Chain A
Amino acid sequence: MMDGFLQSLEGSPLAVRTTGLSKSFGAKKALRGLDLAVPEGSVYVLVGPNGAGKTTSLRILLDLVKADSGTSEVLGGATGSEGAWVRAQIGYVPDIHDFGYPELAVGSFLRHHRSYFPAWDETYALRLLSEFDISTEDTFGTLSKGQARRVQLVQAMAHRPPLLLLDEPTDGLDPLARDHLLGLLADHLAGTPTTVLLSTHLVHEVEGLGDHLGVLRGGRLVAQLPRTTLHLGLHHLRATIPEGWQSPPRLLEAAIVCQTQKRDISWTVWGDSEELQAQLSASGADLRHWEALNLEAATRAFLSMKER
């Protein structure tokens, strides 16, 4: 355990592991020593604002981008030296949906794509297309962004890869299309043991799917933990304090975000909730509200906390 909310997750078998990954594009540092650990079978939600380094991280795992330093492994294979084998284990949905063949029919594209994946399940691909309401006769140039995203998801899932890398999969989708897409992804996960590494800056859209959270800020991982640990350890509390109130030292240590409005103070705290509640009550503060945080609120807290 590196820190309370920055865990190495070494105890479980890992599908993805990066150590000290750094990458710069000119003067801009995209990644600064990234230590990512995605347990096998998990749905790992990698969140962060635009430019935090999410896409660069995924592209390094596919060997589309070379890291300046550090190592990265997928299912035990080094992403650089064993790139072809690693990519055979991955279903990838990039953040770009235009791949340069607007005149190509969906059916022709999938026929081309399946040549690269001997494990391709044609029956499953056709079923997914049918559920997504996409015709094999449709050409890419006539697909909407949402439809193109669905085709990308079919191409990523139909060879039943052990690892899915999804880069902003819900970006640009209307709420109905998003729910449909996430529903089919959940069905896929129920029927096929798969690890998912999903990057997004819209955490609320994947709230029900993720069981691990990683938060990137400025190319650095500021939080990485299982959802269960997050629920047990991260809380938001609000209290009214008396005049001349002194904060208990333990609360100061545990608070990662603190907001004051006259005599109302709210904290986002990390630690043993019962101990903190007891200390707060003993200090004379009137505890008004106490709740565990969902993924979106937790992300907001991690992104707004000061660097430790």
Chain B
Amino acid sequence: MEQRSNPAPKLSDVFRAQVGLLMEKPWGKSSFFYGIILLQGVLSASAGVFIGFSIEFEAGEDAIYSMPQVTDLGLEPGPAAIFVTFLLMVVWATAWPGRVWRGGTAGSTDYFESLPVSWSAHQLVRLSAGGLVLSALCLLLLTVTTVTAALFGHGAPLAEFPLSAWLCYLTGPLLTYLFLSAFPMRGRRVWSYLGIAIGLSILSWSLLNFAGVGDPVNRIARQLLVGEVGFITALADPILRTNLAFSWPARPWMPALLLWSALAAATVAWTSTRGRRQT
């Protein structure tokens, strides 16, 4: 028999294939997913602009509880929109490894490892492709938020953000994604390569901090934590919950925030769980 030899693929082709796979529309031919992403951008921007944590309500005869206000957090409505968007991006980044690695099932692992690329190069290409698509989605979200905030007349503070600060908004989700990718890749040879990727990311982050652009981001992260803890504590208290349900004044941002939460939850569910076979 004449001996033939088939060529191996170029890594650039593999990278494109991986990006293509991640950009494949889920749920068949529907563009519903992209609609949801854009809607989330608009809603998070609206929630940020209109966010009205200026709530005071009576929990008893002598007690008045107050939720943190946007201004209490040191944010104007424009930056607050970015603040909410940042939260959404971190949620996406948390769920994204599930989409990239598809849960590491026996079938998908076997399939990807049987392809004609060196195992470590393939893992790095998949990691990079996932990072690129996530950054593109985050950029899309930031753009929608910024445009929405500007349309409501709150674009001026955003114009003062330095470019490096915008960069931080992208590296934050990217870092989250890189760290969490270690879990589906756990126990494999990728640890050494992931270590390099994480090391480089931390180095970049430190350089940005050193340049003085990390402070606003760190401040936002701290404020985010304080605001979230306060909100969760209120929800955990039955008396406060009752008061919230009956006393919270209806505000324009409430439906948007609730819808945003539902959409974020749907995104997490979609990316972190595998679809079930229909037959």
List residues of A whose CB falls within 8 A of some B CB: 13, 40-41, 59, 62-64, 75, 83-90, 92, 94, 96-105, 108, 111-112, 115-119, 137, 139, 141-144, 159-162, 193, 195
- Least Cβ–Cβ distance between B22 and chain A, in angstroms: 10
12 residue pairs of the A-B complex, CB under 8 angstroms, read A41-B1, A64-B113, A88-B8, A90-B114, A98-B107, A100-B102, A101-B108, A112-B21, A116-B9, A116-B13, A117-B9, A193-B2
Q: Is the CB of B5 within 8 A of A40?
A: no
Nearest 7 A-B pairs (CB), nearest first? A100-B108, A115-B17, A88-B116, A41-B1, A87-B116, A99-B111, A100-B102
Check if B277 sits within 8 Å of A102, measured CB to CB.
Answer: yes
Binds A, one of B24-32, B74-82, B166-174: B24-32
> Contact check: which of A64, A118, A137 meets B9 at CB < 8 Å?
A118
Q: Are A92 and B275 in contact (CB under 8 A)?
A: no
Report the nearest B residue to A108, measured CB to CB: B24
Q: Is B233 an interface residue (CB 8 A)?
A: no
CB < 8 Å neighbour of A84 from B3, B27, B117, B278: B117
Judged by a CB distance under 8 angstroms, whether B6 is at the interface is yes
Does A159 lie within 8 Å of B6, measured CB to CB?
Answer: yes
Contacts of A102 in B (CB 8 A): 274-278
Report if B214 contacts A (CB, 8 A).
Answer: no
Q: Tell me the bound Cα distance from A104 to B29 in angstroms.
A: 9
Find the A residue at minimum CB distance from B20.
Answer: A112
Number of A-B contacts (CB under 8 A): 130
Check: B110 CB closer than 8 A to any chain A CB: yes
| Complex Cα gap A6–B27 (Å) | 52
Q: From DSSP, what is the main secondary structure of chain A's interface residues?
A: loop
A119 contacts across to B, CB distance below 8 A: 6-7
Residues of A within 8 Å of B6, CB to CB, are: 88-89, 117-119, 159-162
Q: Tell me if A195 and B28 are in contact (CB < 8 A).
A: no
Instruction: Say how far B264's CB is from chain A's closest CB, in angstroms.
Output: 20
A162 touches B3 (CB 8 A): yes
Q: How far is the CA of A116 from the CA of B11 in the complex (A)?
A: 9
Check A116–B106 contact: CB distance below 8 A: no
Decide if B108 touches A99 in the complex (CB within 8 Å).
Answer: yes
Looking at A89, A108, A142, A159, the one whose CB has the most chain B CB atoms below 10 A away is A89
Interface residue B91 (Cβ < 8 Å from any Cβ of A):
no
Task: Find chain A residues with CB under 8 A from B17 CB.
Answer: 112, 115-116
Name the A residues within 8 Å of B13 (CB-CB): 115-116, 118
Residues of B within 8 A of A86 (CB): 116
When distances are taken between beta carbons in the complex, the residues of chain A under 8 Å from B278 are 102, 141-142
Known contacts A88-B6, A112-B17; decide if A103 and B117 are in contact (CB<8 Å). Answer: no
Distance, CA A111 to CA B279, complexed state (A):
24
Flag if B8 contacts A141 (CB, 8 Å): no
Cβ of B4 within 8 Å of any chain A Cβ, yes or no, is yes
CB contacts (< 8 Å) of B165 on chain A: these are none
Q: Which residue of B lies closest to A159 (CB)?
A: B6
How near does chain B come to A83, taking the closest CB pair, in angstroms? Answer: 7
Q: In this assembly, does B103 line the interface, its C-beta being within 8 Å of a C-beta of chain A? A: yes
Interface bits B241-271 vs A (CB < 8 Å: 1, else 0): 0000000000000000000000000000000
What residues of A have a CB within 8 angstroms of the CB of B14 in the complex? 115-116
